[in-house]
């Protein structure tokens, strides 16, 4: 059986080269690219501005779709939807659609599992199976847009995996999302999150990408981060802050720091004061996220009173502080939870 070449995840330039290789004019690539990435069409026969002969030719030699929706869970407390996708190799990944007024955000995975092993994250229990291709990252958005019939406005690379350990494919997917013939989502509305892969932070800065950057902090000392974010043993906190300042100074953009608040671990007033001191001398934003509890991991969120005390201490800071509630708490919406619940 012929192995068909996959067109999802190709840049426009790559698609032009592909069309030329089969004797077609390069402008055909623009048409196909738009059908795939803006209109979320997975069937060549539905690309009505192409000739029937070309549609048949494409059907015989290429394919677009490599993901299938395995399961969906709809939240009863907000408008979140959790998607479990099956890949061609039999593996599974997750995406989450989060809705808030006119803001429609998709949270994307970049790996099957994750090698970092953060103990608070259900994805860490899976381990790393492999990186996703750029096409598999892109298809998550295309499928959700098609299935939900919603115009997605925001993208966060915060699902399963560490985007900066799948750097080239993550950046390539983000660039496709930003293109005029694709979803055309502004760089300001695309956030790439990392737990602190310092060499890639410097690469990202030097290469001048404009997508917004988020760093999962989750601790105010090396001892805390060693436990919660094991990559800290290789890239310690002081080096991470140094790299963050380098990014801020050279890009003129603020980093958003994500701080998951875990009961009796990193939720004391002393933690809040250390956090304020750590981030106060450069422009940034801080999201405080009460832990999204799940049956697979024995961590808990702090009480509302403890949360209020923690945040009130941080409101003395010169940087912006936001409390961000996890979406879809009733549908296993945190990373890896639906995957783990299905014991796949």
Please, are residues 128 and 113 in contact by the beta-carbon 8 Å criterion? Answer: yes
Is 24 a residue of the active site?
no
**Residue 318 corresponds to which tokens in the numbers above?**
């010169």
Q: Which residues contact 92 (CB under 8 A, 6 or more apart)?
A: 70, 84, 85, 86, 112, 339, 342, 344
Cα separation, 32 vs 215, in Å, equals 36
Query: In terms of C-beta density within 10 A (0-12 exposed, 13-18 middle, 19 or more buried), how is residue 273 classed?
Result: middle
Helix axis angle for 27-37 and 134-148, nearest 10°, is 60
Q: What does the DSSP 8-state code read for residue 264?
A: T
Helix axis angle for 269-279 and 304-314, nearest 10°, is 30
Containing 29, the helix (H) or strand (E) segment is: helix 27-37
Query: In terms of C-beta density within 10 A (0-12 exposed, 13-18 middle, 19 or more buried), how is residue 117 classed?
Result: middle
Q: Which residues contact 196 (CB under 8 A, 6 or more apart)?
A: 215, 216, 229, 231, 232, 235, 240, 243
Is 295 a residue of the active site?
no
Q: Which of 114, 121, 284, 335 is catalytic?
A: 335
Q: Which of 73, 94, 139, 227 is catalytic?
A: 94
- The β-bridge partners of 106 are 97, 155
Q: Which residues contact 306 (CB under 8 A, 6 or more apart)?
A: 263, 267
Residue 252 CA, distance from chain mean position: 22
* Beta strand spans in the chain (E): 5-6, 62-63, 67-74, 81-87, 92-100, 103-107, 111-113, 128-131, 154-157, 190-194, 212-216, 255-261, 284-290, 320-323
| Residues classed as catalytic | 94, 335
């Amino acid at each position: 059986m012929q192995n068909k070449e996959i067109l999802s995840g190709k840049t426009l330039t790559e698609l032009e080269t592909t069309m030329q290789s089969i004797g077609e004019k390069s402008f055909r690539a623009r048409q196909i690219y738009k059908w795939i990435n803006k209109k979320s069409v997975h069937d060549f026969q539905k690309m009505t501005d192409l000739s029937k002969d070309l549609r048949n030719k494409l059907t015989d030699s290429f394919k677009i779709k490599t993901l299938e929706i395995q399961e969906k869970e709809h939240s009863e407390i907000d408008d979140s939807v959790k998607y479990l996708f099956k890949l061609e190799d039999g593996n599974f990944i997750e995406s989450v659609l989060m809705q808030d007024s006119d803001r429609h955000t998709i949270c994307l995975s970049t790996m099957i599992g994750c090698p970092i092993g953060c103990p608070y994250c259900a994805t860490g229990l899976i381990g790393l199976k492999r990186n996703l291709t750029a096409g598999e990252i892109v298809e998550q958005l295309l499928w959700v847009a098609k299935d939900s019939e919603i115009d997605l406005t925001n993208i966060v690379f915060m699902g399963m995996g560490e985007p900066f350990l799948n750097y080239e494919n993550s950046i390539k997917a983000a660039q496709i999302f930003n293109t005029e013939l694709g979803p055309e989502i502004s760089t300001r509305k695309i956030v790439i999150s990392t737990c602190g892969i310092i060499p890639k932070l410097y690469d990202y800065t030097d290469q001048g990408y404009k997508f917004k950057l988020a760093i999962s902090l989750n601790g105010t000392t090396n001892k805390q981060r060693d436990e919660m974010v094991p990559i800290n043993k290789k890239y310690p906190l002081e080096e991470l802050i140094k790299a963050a300042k380098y990014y801020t100074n050279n890009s003129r953009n603020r980093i958003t720091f994500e701080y998951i608040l875990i009961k009796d671990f990193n939720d004391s007033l002393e933690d809040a004061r250390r956090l304020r001191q750590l981030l106060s001398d450069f422009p940034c934003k801080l999201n405080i996220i009460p832990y999204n509890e799940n049956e697979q991991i024995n961590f808990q969120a702090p009480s509302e009173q403890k949360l209020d005390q923690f945040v009130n201490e941080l409101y003395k800071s010169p940087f912006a502080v936001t409390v961000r509630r996890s979406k879809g708490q009733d549908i296993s919406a945190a990373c890896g939870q639906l995957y783990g619940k299905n014991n796949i």
